[in-house]
């Protein structure tokens, strides 16, 4: 019984390899969403956030959220002209 189980699993593995090969080609054609300049900006802001030195822009309060730190890094990268997609629209 054990040998019959092995045969069926090897067949399913060979089928999955052929189907996954074509999908990886499609995804490689797509360009990067964020450029290296944007990555550096977010990395710098996260470093400041982890050290407790990251302040919010207008109010000057200390940033307490990881998501806020990333958003600040991305907005700075946008201002400097890095490759970053536009911000999501807020729900009304």
- Residues 37-68 pLDDT 10s: 999 999 999 999 999 999 998 899 999 999 99
Q: What is the pLDDT of residue 6?
A: 54
Give the C-alpha separation, 65 to 63, whole Å.
6
Residue 44 forms part of a structural domain: yes
Residue 62 forms part of a structural domain: yes
Rounded (5°) CA angle 61-66-67: 95
How many domains, in total, are found in the chain? Answer: 1
Provide mean pLDDT across the span 17-46: 77
Flag whether pLDDT at 17 surpasses 90.
no
Residue 71 forms part of a structural domain: yes
Residue 88 forms part of a structural domain: no
Task: Indicate the pLDDT class of residue 72, thresholds 50, 70 and 90.
Answer: very high
Its domain, for residue 73, covers: 36-80
Give the C-alpha separation, 83 to 41, whole Å.
11
Residue 18 forms part of a structural domain: no
Residue 22 forms part of a structural domain: no
Q: What is the pLDDT of residue 89?
A: 85
Give the C-alpha separation, 36 to 43, whole Å.
10
């Amino acid at each position: 019984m054990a040998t019959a189980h092995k045969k069926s699993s090897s067949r399913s593995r060979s089928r999955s390899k052929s189907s996954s090969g074509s999908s990886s080609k499609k995804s490689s054609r797509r360009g990067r969403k964020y450029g290296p300049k944007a990555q550096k900006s977010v990395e710098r802001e996260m470093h400041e956030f982890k050290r407790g030195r990251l302040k919010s822009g207008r109010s000057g309060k200390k940033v307490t959220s990881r998501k806020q730190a990333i958003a600040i890094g991305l907005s700075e990268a946008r201002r400097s002209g890095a490759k970053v997609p536009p911000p999501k629209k807020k729900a009304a």
